[in-house]
Structure 1
Amino acid sequence: MEPPNLTLPKVGTKPSKKMKLPSPKELISHYESQGVDSQEASMKVIEDLQKALFSVVSSGRGKHDKLLTESSRKIDAISNRLTVLDMKLDSKPGYVETFAIGLASGAALKGIGALLPHIIAPIGNIWNFVSSAVKSSPQ
């Protein structure tokens, strides 16, 4: 019994030629040689290319795409939080605005304090007049 004749590839050597991808014209001529008309051959070539493209895109990239999607989602969330924080900081007044608000409110309180006795005294007089009129009138 004789051992089978096998040739093993050498370790560390690369193939000298890369596999050349057929051009669209070559693919069309391949289908036409099988007896398919030109338009149908073109449709088959497009269908084959779409299938090949889909298989390349969908195979082996699932984890990478999920990681990329998750990272993109996290970056969007962080960006939204920073935008909200920036809006909150922009909406608060600075030192100068706070001082101006304090001066305006102090002036308003002082003005109200000056006007309040002139407003309360006549209201008090009216109240006293009405209450004395009610007491003196017969029931």
Structure 2
Amino acid sequence: METPTVTIPKIGPKPSKKLKLPTPKELISHYESQGMDSQDASLKVIEDLQKALFGVISSGKGKHDKLLTESSRKIDAISNRLTVLDMKLDSKPGYVETFAIGLASGAALKGIGAIVPHIIAPLFQIWNSVFTATKSSPQ
């Protein structure tokens, strides 16, 4: 009896062939070989490169890491600002507390208004007595 041979497939990334991109001179010579003059071939190469660049930019592959990093940084900044704003809003008194503070400050102002004349009148009397004493003293 013969033992069957078993082949085990390899798991992992397949070896990729590096695609060599043509140089600008090669592209120009390619278009010149198709019957274009040098200037038209150069313009065609520039147009092709612009289309390729636009395709890479619009697909997001070329700037994915930079965009992701910048977006993450902006989201962190916004999150920090919202946290600070939330803390400020939480520290503000509500309607009931504000009303109580207003009543207390009104009562304090009314009390001060009632006490001030009793404090100012004696101070004014002291001032007048000092003024008259210094004015009438012989020199």
Size of the aligned set, in residue pairs, is 85
Please list every run of 5 or more consecutive structure 1 residues that lacks an aligned counterpart in the other structure: 1-16, 23-60
* Whole-Å separation in 1 of the counterparts to 2:9 and 2:78: 46
* Whole-Å separation in 2 of the counterparts to 1:111 and 1:80: 44
Task: From the superposition, tell whether residues 20 and 114 of structure 1 become closer, same or farther in structure 2 (CA, over 3 Å).
Answer: same
Which TM-score applies when normalising by structure 1?
A: 0.53
| CA deviation after TM superposition for structure 1 residue 96, in Å | 1.0
Match of 1:103 in 2: 103
- Shift >3 Å, 4+ stretches: 61-64
| CA deviation after TM superposition for structure 1 residue 128, in Å | 1.0
Match of 1:26 in 2: none
2:105 is equivalent to residue 127 of structure 1: no
* Whole-Å separation in 1 of the counterparts to 2:97 and 2:123: 37
* Whole-Å separation in 2 of the counterparts to 1:76 and 1:69: 11
Q: In terms of mean alpha carbon deviation, does 67-76 or 128-137 score higher? A: 67-76
Please list every run of 5 or more consecutive structure 2 residues that lacks an aligned counterpart in the other structure: 1-6, 13-60
Match of 2:64 in 1: 64
Which TM-score applies when normalising by structure 2?
A: 0.53
RMSD of aligned alpha carbons: 2.5
* Whole-Å separation in 1 of the counterparts to 2:67 and 2:8: 32
- Between the aligned residues of both structures, percent identity stands at 82
AA aligned to 2:92 is K
Q: Deviations over 1:57-108 (max 9, x none)?
A: xxxx874333322221121111012112212212322111111111111111
2:93 is equivalent to residue 93 of structure 1: yes
- Spell out the pairing of 1:1-139 with structure 2 (5 A cutoff): 20-21=10-11, 63-139=63-139
